[in-house]
Chains A and B, each alone.
Chain A
């Protein structure tokens, strides 16, 4: 995989190239561990292929330009933007487009200062830490406050833009945020839009996908649903989705945490019982049904 050792013949074995960098492994891991998100995965595959070809072209001296790799991830809360950013970093690292592969995740607080002269050093410090890796700016639209023209966010934006342009080979910037607000952000900062090569939109999860996510999370934590609990959870998802502030996988994770709490409480309530490993691992229907989400269903059913 070393550039120097590769012979400079005109033939290239793609399979060998692919295996040498080991991104296939990351891509299959991405497929396995991230449920749904088909458009995102397709897009990442495309980017990975492009970068692989670009790498070969570079070695054959067909190109010397560093491709623009800055990305924007838009999507509702809990759709996996941060997780995908971590994966992208390791793909870019394996292909040699970033040197170190670390991800520095920041929000407005870490970039924008509180008084005049505070912002530039703060932004630069973050940029320096992210050099050689990926800078992930979560909820990037907060950088721009249209209601306050003296807001220091603009200063941070200018420094970011400058470094994004002049040090493309040192750093990849990923902006993330909710779709509609990011659109507004890009509209008011056209410089950003043009400097970002890949706009990736994260769709919401469907109900079966959410269930699959829940089961994957439980498996990682060594828990499982009993058959009844699984049925109850399917109903839970359908109800929770209609309620406000639903944030996809994050809501599911929180729900599971609360169910674990209830399960523990239920087990502790009966101290004389002898538990098997299976008892400790299973979540029962009662743990799911105690959720507040079902309260509304019961009250509407009662009033009808």
Chain B
């Protein structure tokens, strides 16, 4: 029954997918959607960036050696790699047929390369140099072969002999490139050290582009807790291996990695092995959040980049085997767009993929995608929209911001949400010193740095404009201060203030106690417990004001410091209030069996009063942040972290003095309270999860009874 269930999963997920399709979406004529993401991570529908124009490899024939006029069909079988040389000749590693297929630029068969003198065995990678030498990763034979132009075997490279290679290492080359010097960069299966760099004679020169080992929090915990011998028994954490690589004309090497890694799946490496992708984007390989929904619970839910290609403008395309999207990034690694997707069961439509394994560009920037289930190559040309984008982006990347402006405006007219275009226009405005416009555009594009820099300029200009009167004001102010001090006016004023009529209104005195708590936390909290200071009402008001302060910070903090896209007032409320009230309840439960003297009332009020710093500092900070730029971010962060620390300290004293604990008891109490909070959370979660079925059952009965 197991396989049946799997089938059902597929079936159901397809149905679910079908109901998610959106009819009023700007639906393209081509059968796939093209997207980009804005700074908030929202999907933006785009015009197609690539348009399918051809299918290659449907009709391959092999001539009978005895009678060349008789031709038998010889389709590709599980091909794994495609390489296109400078003259647009295509070379395909036809893995299942143990051969390399060479096609001309229009997709007609030129020849099959089989190396009869030393037969290939499941070759998975192919590379051709400018001189026409063919390098094949002959995976099944665990070797690399070098052929001359005519397909004659010239050299065979097997596992290099080196002290840096362990004896257990199995040399299984899958993909390779050759640089100008004739050095080989080889991706070998299971080689966690990275790419093997071999000199023209096949000697190991070192490793290149090694990925980092990622330690999860669990791993760190294990490392901390386990003894050495226990830790040694753990499965070794090793870097993921590189799936594929590509080179461009200017000496960079691009690698893609799959597996469990969640960042730097794509790397652009210079000759020293440094990653040159400078964009803020850390992850590569795009997909729609909804794509993970239909998957079986056990399925991998991260993109698995399988191949990378670079076009003549330095834009990078990667293909993902999991979600079947092709994502395009510019030379800095900023997302341009992504498109494609899986084809539905039972159909094969051009533009949708069954199992894409490799891709490459030709010199006309046409894109070829190899599919190892369909055994075909799909050919795409860049669309009018895509051409505009690439053209404009090229200018922006090389700093010709003003020249790019017209092009970006055209792009934006076609698609008003295209983030790279807004960003490009922002740069152009900045260059033209239209800082207000630049600031607006940077904000629309979600670029905090650009926003902050524009504002810095605006602020500078403002200071320059208004320097004279600001300076006078400051001077006059200082003069007045000094003068007043001298005439002891301030002293008198202070004295007057101290001896003013105090309010007798109980509510006001309760509020004033909040300020007293700030200055004298120990006396303040003790007074709450033993002198009846504070009421439920005053505490509730403080809670409400704190919640407003949270919202005010969300809404009014400068864009430089807060990348807010949508404030969900309900979520903010639940997160804040639920946690707070759980703290209060848990603390009460714990302290009432743990020698605490505080009553529920005291904990409630004390915990509310401890939040006052957030109101007093948080709101002004949000307002002041609007005249700050990122260069003052250390000040901002200091204050903003200061609030948290202050509140933390107040909470601590609150617990200590309301319950009359020692410091040690307080710490234990707080730890227990936190544990109780977690337990309550889990219990609520479980109960809700388990009873929702019951409720839906009851609801259905209710519906039946009332409606039928």
A and B physically associate:
no
